[in-house]
Amino acid sequence: MDARERAAAWDREHRPECLADVPMRIKEDLVEGHVEPDRPAGRLVGTAAVEVEAAAAGRILVDFGSSPHGGHWRPLPDSGREPAITMRTVIHHSIVGSAEGAYQYFAGSTAIESHFIVKKNGYFWQCMSLGEQADANFRANDFAGSIETEDNGNPDTDPWTPAQLDTLVWLSLEMRRLRPRIAHRKCRTWDDAGLGYHTLFPQWTNVPGKTCPGAIRKRQWANSVLPRFLTGSVEEDDMTPEQARQLEAVYKALIVPGTISPEQTVNLMFERIRAIEDAMIVPGTTTAEEAFNILFARVRRIESLLEQLTAQTQQTGQAE
């Protein structure tokens, strides 16, 4: 049994309702021998070309040429075979694995798909037309569009990169341009029009304890993605792509050995600081702050004694 057969067998047995429910090993086993280059040669990516291609096939495709980090049409085998929908909602997901692993899993004999897959560098693939259903949102499949995002296998601690954030916001706004029933707001209920993430409502996922798109990514969604979607700002604080690249480089530089994200690095630093504070507690004190106060009082006493000795020395010299 090869990797694709194993994936199909696992899918039939477990019937996942979202890619995050599929073990990473199942998806990554499918990657070997499959490489989809960014901006593949001969692929139509310009605005006019996309419009011609989409019209000819009856597809609704985004304007790849205006995306901040690029993208192209990479249809799944199910494209053109799914029920038509009138999209009014956009739901953000995480893959729990690589973009290629997600695509290859979708492309097999499985029951789930997604409209988009966004890589860590911000480049994306559109896999399904915006006019057809992609099954990744449980009870919202017949009215919601879905965007999958690549991660390191643990999206709870692996944040979206600056480039992914740019693409998420741009795609959400572009989907709204093409599907005007998508409301310019956060979804208020599970069947409302607007923007959301997968675990925002239980009707969007039936798996208890799931955090998709991940704990740290949900904070980014609230603090960055949603505000930028509401203001129509694709680039945060008007950053250029080069500034976003530099910020991502700084972000990666903050990760120290033994951790996989700056958040873990900060937690480790605070643990070490607390250990130092505990070590600083001296007899007669109960906290590091009290210990520091005693130490500084002693330093000030020594400084005072030195000043007195200096003054006495100067007086003795003058008397002689």
Q: What is the mean pLDDT of the chain?
A: 84
pLDDT at 306 over 60: yes
3-239 CATH choice from 3.40.80.10, 1.10.510.10, 3.40.50.720, 3.30.2350.10: 3.40.80.10
3-state helix, strand, coil in the chain (%, to 5): 50, 10, 45
Which has the closest alpha carbon to 138: 185, 202, 218?
A: 202
Q: pLDDT tens digits for 213-271?
A: 999 999 999 999 999 999 998 876 555 566 656 666 665 666 666 665 555 665 666 56
Instruction: Evaluate whether 167 touches 109 at the Cβ level (below 8 Å).
Output: no
Q: What is the pLDDT of residue 275?
A: 63
Q: What is the pTM of this model?
A: 0.71
Least confident span in 79-93, 127-141, 170-184, 291-305 = 291-305
List the chain domain ranges.
Answer: 3-239, 281-319
Q: What is the pairing mode between strands 89-92 and 144-149?
A: parallel
Tell me which of 287 and 186 has the higher pLDDT.
186
Alpha helices per DSSP H over 181-287 = 215-220, 226-231, 241-253, 262-280
Which residue bears the tokens 């290629």?
100
Please give the DSSP secondary-structure letter assigned to residue 303: H
